Structure 1
Amino acid sequence: MKSTSSSGVPEASLIVYDGECVFCQNYVRFVRLRETVGPIELIDARSGDHRVRAFQRQGYDLNEGMLFVHNGTVHHGADAVHKMALLSSSSGLANRMNQVVLSNGTLARLIYPVLKAGRRITLLARGRRQIAPPDEEG
């Protein structure tokens, strides 16, 4: 079900991801949510967007997982990819595989640490740093 504002215009869901992580970039590109939930705003956690800092100040560690905000609820890490898998379209092989694996909450929680480790290794290999907490940026 698509969420709408008081003006009747669909409210965009939001995904906050690490733009330096090739896995994160590719995941947010291939997951097909627009077909099922409507507009989605993608925010690179390194972009300086004020909402990123607000989420961090609320206690969301973006090195521990991406965020998916849908219908006013913030989903973080394994919960985020699980919710996105439940809501995504099944069109395409990658999306069907995503649904099979990550739409199962238990599997999503078991697999997510492996995904995080892959992100960390890839960032290290590319000479990139972790996402800085809000108090470490200028």
Structure 2
Amino acid sequence: MMSKTDADTLYLVYDGDCPLCRAGAQGFRVNKAVGRLETLDARTTDHPLMSDIRTSGFDLNQGIVVAYQGQLHHGEDAMYMLALMGSSSDAFNRFNAWLFRSKARVKWLYPLLKAGRRVSLKLMGKDEI
């Protein structure tokens, strides 16, 4: 069971050293009906949610984590959840919603995003989380 978190908050846990992850997290907007969004850099946060992620066995090197209403979603499932809850406030968010609302596209694209993260970290001389 997840630590006490705000039920009206969607938590997006990402790798703050990855420029692709950081840009995505900073650009993402949540639909007003969902509530609010809190982005957490997995490398620097001491949020209680990090303990829940570790206990659940999710590897942040293998994907982002989305926590919402007491449930954790990891990797492809997290991207799909973000697409369902995303705002259509701007072109970036509309495109992401369209792209990742298809489970087939998420399954195909998510490994490419993970590869982009690995390459980015390597080029920057950064270690994995």
TM range (shorter): 0.7 to 0.9
Match of 1:16 in 2: 13
Contact 1:19–1:46 (8 Å) recurs in 2 = yes
1:33-53 Cα shifts (integer Å, max 9, x gaps): 153311222211111514324
Query: Aligned pair in 2 of structure 1 residues 93, 60: CA closer, same or farther (>3 Å)?
Result: same
Q: What's the CA shift for 1:11? A: 2.9
User: Taking every aligned residue pair, what percent have the same amino acid on both sides?
Assistant: 35
Q: Supply the distance in 2 between the matched residues of 1:88 and 1:36 (Cα, whole angstroms).
A: 10
Contact 1:68–1:74 (8 Å) recurs in 2 = yes
Q: What's the CA shift for 1:79? A: 0.7
Match of 2:120 in 1: 122
Match of 2:103 in 1: 105
SS class of match (1:37): coil
Q: What residue identity is the alignment partner of 1:59?
A: G
1:91-112 Cα shifts (integer Å, max 9, x gaps): 2111111111101111111100
Moved over 2 A (4+): none
Q: Supply the distance in 2 between the matched residues of 1:25 and 1:34 (Cα, whole angstroms).
A: 20
5+ unaligned residues in a row in structure 1: which ranges? 132-138
What TM-score, normalized by structure 1, do the two folds share? 0.82
Q: What residue identity is the alignment partner of 2:38?
A: E
Q: How many residues align?
A: 124
Any residues of structure 2 matched to 1:72-111 within 5 Å, and which? 72-111=70-109
Match of 1:134 in 2: none
The answer to whether structure 1 residue 28 and structure 2 residue 22 are counterparts is: no
Contact 1:86–1:103 (8 Å) recurs in 2 = yes
Q: Larger radius of gyration, structure 1 or 2?
A: 1
Highest relative contact order (Cα 8 Å, sep 6+), 1 or 2?
2
